[in-house]
Amino acid sequence: MAVLSCLMFLLLELCLEVSASYSVSGLYQGVWYKPVEHYALLGQSFMNISGISAVRCSVRCLSHRGCFSFNYERINQACQMNNVSAEHVCDNLQGMPYFSYYDATATPLTCQVNTYVSGHGKSVPEFLSFEKLGLEDGSIPDESLSASSNYISSHSSTPAGGRLNKLPGESAIGGWHPSVADTNQWIEVDLGNSTYVTGVLTQGRSGGPAGQWVTMYKVQYEPPSPTCLVDVKDQLGQTQMFNGNIDRNSIVERRFFKPVLAVKIRIVPVGWRDFICLRFELLGCK
């Protein structure tokens, strides 16, 4: 049995090695590895292996009963196997250039994908099918939305007012409107399950003052594990800033550089016209 097991892992290494060198995102024996790019779990490594690919590192971790996650450093092709996942020591997950953190807790991809080879010779996933995730049509319930604060008056704001194409009602404004306008404000969606999110649609406030909308924002997400927020990154590994709206009703679509696997998505306005006011929808794969 031991010989058969070794042969199985060897075959897995050989098959996976053809399709990936620096990252691995695949399903094997019910385990799905998905990287958190430019992060590493510090202080939890019990074994370091140099000169192997991320694919081989994932196989080694799968075959070791004490391995719950791993860091992979691309420059030196270094595999660091961890004895816990970041879910249990979230504060130890730190931003680290050239590293990726892998945790075997995410769910398999269900939407259609294709791959293409980038200018650096890497195989890159391209999402071909995506859809609105349910803010506009109400399939994401009101209790799944939360915010840093809400404007309260005779015509008030709630997080649920931030749904795309939401119109003002008798006692509610047409949009999410925080109580103050500063860069500490946010609106968040709990997706319920691990979901690939590919972008955002935004609008300004419907009705009321003529010039209230978000002109720039960033997006944060909570991976299936760990339970802490990570910024959506651009092609350079920096926090991606998204240009927002220039009027109240036009819908502006912004795509992420790479899809993210998330259980929560948070929109953080960093620029606005007159006051923060937002309606939005998420794009992704259900």
Same domain? 65 vs 155: no
Does position 145 have pLDDT exceeding 50, yes or no?
Answer: yes
Q: Is residue 119 part of a domain?
A: no
What number is the average pLDDT over the span 120-136? 67
The total of structural domains in the chain comes to 2
Same domain? 136 vs 266: yes
Model pLDDT for residues 3-45, shown as the tens digit of each residue: 444 444 444 444 443 333 334 444 334 455 667 888 899 999 9
Structural domain ending residue among the three candidates 106, 122, 140:
106
Domain with 84, as residue range(s), is 2-106
Same domain? 79 vs 27: yes
What's the pLDDT at 138?
Answer: 94
Eight-state DSSP code of residue 143: G
Higher pLDDT, 26 or 240: 240
Same domain? 150 vs 278: yes
SS3 281: strand
Higher pLDDT, 205 or 225: 205
Q: Measure the CA angle with vertex 95, ends 29 and 18; round to 5°.
A: 40
What number is the average pLDDT over the span 173-197? 93
Same domain? 158 vs 256: yes
Quick check: 25 and 16 in contact, CB under 8 A?
A: no
Quick check: 92 and 42 in contact, CB under 8 A?
A: yes
Instruction: Identify the CA nearest to 275 among candidates 191, 128, 176.
Output: 176
Which range is most confident: 74-78, 116-120, 258-262? 74-78
Q: Is residue 114 part of a domain?
A: no
